[in-house]
Amino acid sequence: MIKKVAILANGGDVSGFNAVIRAIMRAAMTHGIECYGYIDGYKGLVENNYIRLDGNPIASGIIAKGGSIIGSSTNTIVFHYKVKHEDGTITYEDLSDLCVKNVREAGFDCVFTLGGDSTQKSSRDLFLKGINTIGVPKTIDNDVACTDITFGYNTAVSVATEAIDRLHTTAETHHRIMVLEVMGRFAGWIALESAISGGADVALIPEIPYDLNKAAEAIKKRQARGKNFSLVVVSEGAMSKDGTIEAHEAEGLDSKSGISIKFGGIGPKVAKELQELTGMEARCTVLGYMQRGGTPTAYDRVISTKYGAKAMELALEGKFGVLTVIKDGELSSVPLEEVIGNNKEIGAVQGGTADSNVRRVTMDHDLVKTARNIGICLGD
């Protein structure tokens, strides 16, 4: 019998967090279950900081609201938790036992973990330690394994599409190459899909190491056809055939954990090199956090609501240690064990590392075939 549940939103925010929170809360209310929210994701779990959501005015009217009403935190994995001491030193500690104790004392029958691959890895690990967890797949990058789509992705694609549309008119007016750098650390879904929807000419994604000469050739061919401008979309994690990813480690973050790595810089690099190769003027726009903020699209509101309602359905069925997924259009669930892939070691630090199981664009995917068929250059 489920009487009391908690929601935890973790990782970089996305549009749709609140829609999932709302759906879980409303499904809980339908079944007379108390619903709580941990403040700032796993941080709230460590600090035992949570609030009641059902009946709380802060949880009302939130379906269209960006961000997360209960906050979120990045780089906070309870098995490798960053602790800042009074003397300024930082250590990483395994606080998972404390979390287990906190959940038990609060009396939560289930904790819903809204997040990406790192969050779901920790969710699996907490499940192995005896906590009833159910994951809901989030990321704008759309790179959570075992599901066709994560919530937040569609909004990011829609923001990127609007950006391409706006760059289109200025590119055309000034006869320039406009490069748009979008998010996507290890997977190029946003770049690929928005390049198709925005009518871009080149899309560079992490899965296809690029040769910029190919992109320059495509741009010159357009020029020869009288098209004196081109639009290029590049994922932040894209890299050249002989180059490295333009990434740097943010100050003070953990070098062991992949999630600390900040990407950025590939867009300006590509623009500069394309200018040299084509002789055309090139400019770069880095879209950044615009992709994560603001109101979710109707599509994201609906899949977030489906995911949230399904998560509560699973809890009522007593199915824990699973992730809600959409596979071939069907709303279902898979064991978190499958989601984490080979990263079996409990508590191991993960997230965008060689061990993590991110879902990347495959060369036989419809989006790749479509892009190639309509002549979008993928840099290969």
For the bound state, the minimum distance from the C-beta of residue 351 to ligand F6P, rounded and expressed in Å, comes to 9
Nearer to ligand F6P, 12 or 267 (CB): 12
Quick count: other Cβ atoms within 10 Å of Cβ 83? Answer: 11
For the bound state, the minimum distance from the C-beta of residue 316 to ligand F6P, rounded and expressed in Å, comes to 31
User: 244 near 210, Cβ under 8 Å?
Assistant: no
User: 363 near 191, Cβ under 8 Å?
Assistant: no
Q: Which of 202, 195, 204 is nearest to 177 (CA)?
A: 202
Give the C-alpha separation, 186 to 359, whole Å: 9
Nearer to ligand F6P, 229 or 307 (CB): 307
For the bound state, the minimum distance from the C-beta of residue 186 to ligand F6P, rounded and expressed in Å, comes to 9
Length of the chain: 380
Residue 364 annotated among the catalytic residues of the structure: no
> Token pair for residue 346?
């409990």
Nearer to ligand F6P, 79 or 263 (CB): 263
For the bound state, the minimum distance from the C-beta of residue 12 to ligand F6P, rounded and expressed in Å, comes to 4
Give the C-alpha separation, 152 to 12, whole Å: 11
DSSP state of 262: E
Nearer to ligand F6P, 76 or 278 (CB): 76
Strand runs labelled E in the chain? 4-9, 34-38, 50-52, 81-84, 90-93, 110-115, 133-137, 177-182, 202-204, 230-235, 247-249, 261-263, 282-286, 322-327, 330-335
For the bound state, the minimum distance from the C-beta of residue 41 to ligand F6P, rounded and expressed in Å, comes to 12
Nearer to ligand F6P, 76 or 139 (CB): 139
Cα–chain-centroid distance for residue 229? 31
User: 14 near 138, Cβ under 8 Å?
Assistant: yes
Binding site for ligand F6P (CB under 6 A): 12, 74, 116, 139-141, 183-185, 236, 263, 292
Choice among 13, 40, 141, 300 that is catalytic: 141
Select the residue whose beta carbon is closest to ligand F6P and give its number: 183
Cite the active site residues. 141
